[in-house]
Structure 1
Amino acid sequence: MRIPKLLFAAAAALFILALILLLGLLLVSGGDPIGFVQTQLIRLRLAGREAVLNTPRGSDNTPLRFVVEPGDSPRTIAANLVVAGLIADAEVFVDYVRLQGWDTQLEAGTYFLNAAQTIPQIAQSLTDSRGSFIPFRIIEGWRLEEIAEAVDANPLFGFSGAEFLAVTAAGTQPDESFAARVGLPAGASHEGFLFPNTYSLPPEITAHGLRDVLTDEFLAQVSTAGVESAAQEQGWSLHQVATLASIVQREAVRIDEAPLIAGVYRNRLDIGMKLDADPTVQYPLGQPGDWWTQITRADYTGVISPYNTYLSPGLPPGPIANPGLAMLQAVVAPEASEFFYFQANCDGSGYHRFARTFDEHLANSCS
C-alpha cells in the first residue's frame, strides 16, 4: 500500500506545481495566458525572420499608390503588399502588426509607399490614412501646359496631364459661378486662374478636383488681398486683371518692380497705345520643351495671333500664364509714373530702364 501513497503524493506535488505555474502564467500574462503564449510564439517566429522584417524589399524609393479597401483584413493587405512589390513576406507582415496590436488599426485609404521601406515602416504608415497626401507646387508664370507637365512628372496623381488639360483648356466647361465671378468669356480656358502655390492634395483627387482646388485658391487670394474689390472699383473684371497680371508676371524679374511695369502698361491702355509685350508673342509660339521661346524682331509682326500685342491693340483675349498674388496686386495698384517704355538693364540684374518717350527708350538701348 506504500506505492499508491507515493504515487498520490507525487501527483499532488505535480498538481501543486502545475497550479503554481498556471498562477504565474496568469500573473505575467495579465490574465490572458492563451494570448500570452501566442504572443511569445509570434516573437519566436519574428526572431527567426529578423532579416526579412527589417530589410526593405528593394532600393527604389519611387512612391507607389497603395489602396486599402474598407474591410480588408491584415492578411489581405499583406498579400496585396507582396503583389505590389512592397514587401517580400506576407506572414512576417501579419505577425508584426499582430505583435504591435495594429491588426485592428490598419485604416482604409490611399497611401504612398515605396519598396525602400521596411515592414515596420510600412505597417506604421498604414495606421494613419491622414498622413498620405500629394505635394504639388505650381510656379508663378507657368502656363497651362507646364502645369500639365508637372502633373505627369508626379507619380502620385491618379490622372494624366492630358486629362488635366481636358478640363482646363479652351473649350472646356467651367464652373458657372466661377465663370460669372471672374468674367470668363464663353469658351475661354482656365489660364490665369490656376493659382501658383504649394499644395497638399488628397490622394483621391481627380483632374476636375485639382482644377477646382486651384481656381478656389485664386478666388480666396484675390478676395482676401482686396484685389477683387479694387478691380470692381476700377471697372475691371478679374479676367482683365489676370490677363494683364500674367503679362507683368512674365516681364517682371524683380518683384519690387512689378507695380511700375504694371503702371507702364496701364498708361499705354489709357491712351489706346498697343502693349507691345514680348511674352504675348512667345505665348502662341510655345511648344513642348520650349514653352517660352526666344523671339526676334521679325516675330513682332510675323507671329499672327490675337495674343500678339504688337499687332492687336488692348489686352490679349486672355491670360498667357498663371500669375502670383503680387502681380495681381500690381495691376490693381500700379505705381503711378509718366513712363510708356521700358527695357531690361544692361547689367543682367533683372531690373529695367524706363522712359517717357520713344527717343528716351532708344537711348536706353544696350547696343
Structure 2
Amino acid sequence: MSKNGRSGIKAAIFLPLVTLGLFSICFLMGMVSGIPARAEQIFGPPSPSLGMVRLYYQSSILILQSEQLTSPANHQGGMISFTILPGTTPDEIIRQLKDAGLIKSSSLFRTYLIYTGLDTSIQAGEYSLSQTMSAVEIAQALQDAAPEETTFVILAGWRAEEVAEALPSAGVGVSPEVFMAEVKAHSAEGKLFPAAYQFSRSASAAEIVAIFQQEFERQVGLDMQKGAEKQGFSLEEVVVLASIVEREAVVAEEMPMIASVFVNRLRADMALGADPTVQYALGYNKSQGTWWTNPLSAADMEVVSPYNTYRNLGLPPGPICNPSLLALEAVAFPAQTPYYYFRAACDGSGRHLFSETYEEHISKGCQ
C-alpha cells in the first residue's frame, strides 16, 4: 500500500474520534453548566457568597440527595419543642436536630444551609418542629422564631371549655383536654379571671391555670370579701351568682340591678329561674356551634340537672362561667331594689325591664 493510502486511512479513523471527543466534551460541559440551574430550580437561589467551585460541588450533592432533603425524617413523628439559645453555633444546632430525630443527615443538612446561606440567619428562640417536616422545611422554619411568650385573652362570660378551646390558636402547647382536666382537678371554673395574659408558650396546664387563679385572687380583695359577708354569702357563693349575672347582663351598668333581683329571690326562697343556668346544663350545641344554646325551648327548660335553676331552689353547685370584676362587685355590693323579676326590653337595646310582681312582669312582655 502506498504512503498516501495509509495516510488516508488514518485520517478517516482520526477525524471521527476527534469529533466524538469534542462532542463528549461539549456534552459534559453542558451537563456540568446545568447543575447550578437544576439545583436552583429545586432548592432556590444559592448564597451569593459561594465561589464557583463550591457552587458546583454543593449543587451536585444537593441534586444527588434531593429526595433525602425533601422527605421527612419520620412520617409518623409528632410535634417537638426545639429551643435555640443565643450564641449557639450552626454545627451545635445541627447536632441537636439530629439527636432529636428531626433530620436524617447532619452533613447533608449543613450543605443545604451553606448553599442557601441560611446558616447565617438562624434565629434563637422557641420552635415547634415535627419529624414529619422535611430538612428543607426545618431549615426555613429556623429563620423565624416564635416569640417565647404569647398573649392570651380570656373574655368575661367564657366557660372553662371556651378558654380551653382558645389555647391552641395562641400557640400554647396544651391540649384542651389536658387543660380541662386541670381545671376540674382544682375546681377552677369561675376563677379563670377574664383579662389579657402573657406567659410562655411552653407553660404546662397546671402553670396556666395557676396564673389565671392568681389574677383572680389579686383582683378579689378584702373589701369584696367583706361585701360578700354583708350579703350573707361566702366568696364561693359570690362567684357562683356573679357568673349568672355575667351571662344575664348585656349592659354592664345593669349588673347591680340584676344582682339585686337574684339576691331578693334567694332571700324569699324563690327559684332563680335564670336561663344561662339551663344553657350551662345543656352543654355544647353542635347544630348551633356554641356552648350557649339560644333560643331555649320549653323542653330545654325541663333539662334534669342540678344547674337548672328553674327546677332547683338556691344557687347551682358551681359557677357557670368566669365572671368579670364588675359582675363580682355587683353581687358583693348589689343595688338595693324591691325587684324580683326582669326581662329583656323590647327595643333591642340589650337592657332589661324590672318588676316587683309577676303580674307586672308579664304585662311588660313584647307584643
Answer yes or no: is 1:285 the counterpart of 2:313.
no
The whole-number CA distance in structure 1 between the counterparts of 2:195 and 2:163 is: 12
Q: Aligned letter for 2:126?
A: T
| CA radius of gyration, larger in | 2
Q: Give the TM-score of the pair, scaled to structure 2.
A: 0.66
Deviations 1:11-60 (A, max 9, x none): xxxxxxxxxxxxxxxxxxxxxxxxxxxxxxx98349999xxxxxxxxxxx
Q: Give the TM-score of the pair, scaled to structure 1.
A: 0.66
Answer yes or no: is 1:137 the counterpart of 2:137.
no
Query: How much does 1:203 deviate?
Result: 2.1
Task: Give identity over the alignment, percent.
Answer: 39
**SS class of match (2:330):** helix
| Structure 1 unaligned residues grouped into runs of 5+ | 1-41, 50-63, 175-188
Answer yes or no: is 1:245 the counterpart of 2:242.
yes
The whole-number CA distance in structure 2 between the counterparts of 1:66 and 1:207 is: 16
Answer yes or no: is 1:67 the counterpart of 2:82.
yes
Q: Aligned letter for 1:96?
A: T
The whole-number CA distance in structure 2 between the counterparts of 1:296 and 1:89 is: 63
Partner residue of 2:198 out of 197, 200, 203:
200
Within 5 A, what are the aligned runs for 1:115-264?
Answer: 131-151=147-167, 153-154=168-169, 156-169=171-184, 172=185, 174=186, 189-223=187-221, 226-264=223-261
Residue 34 of structure 1: aligned partner: none
**SS class of match (2:221):** helix
Distance verdict in 2 for CA 1:326–1:354, change over 3 Å? same
The whole-number CA distance in structure 2 between the counterparts of 1:339 and 1:315 is: 18
Distance verdict in 2 for CA 1:90–1:296, change over 3 Å? same
Query: How much does 1:276 deviate?
Result: 0.7
The whole-number CA distance in structure 2 between the counterparts of 1:234 and 1:46 is: 81
Instruction: Check the 8 A contact 1:74/1:94 in 2, yes or no.
Output: no
Deviations 1:102-160 (A, max 9, x none): 9xxx75x52479x9x9x99966x66xx9x521221111111121112112x42622220
Query: How much does 1:299 deviate?
Result: 3.1
Instruction: Check the 8 A contact 1:339/1:354 in 2, yes or no.
Output: yes
The whole-number CA distance in structure 2 between the counterparts of 1:74 and 1:94 is: 10
| Structure 2 unaligned residues grouped into runs of 5+ | 1-46, 56-78, 104-109
Q: RMSD of the TM alignment (CA)?
A: 3.8
Residue 14 of structure 1: aligned partner: none
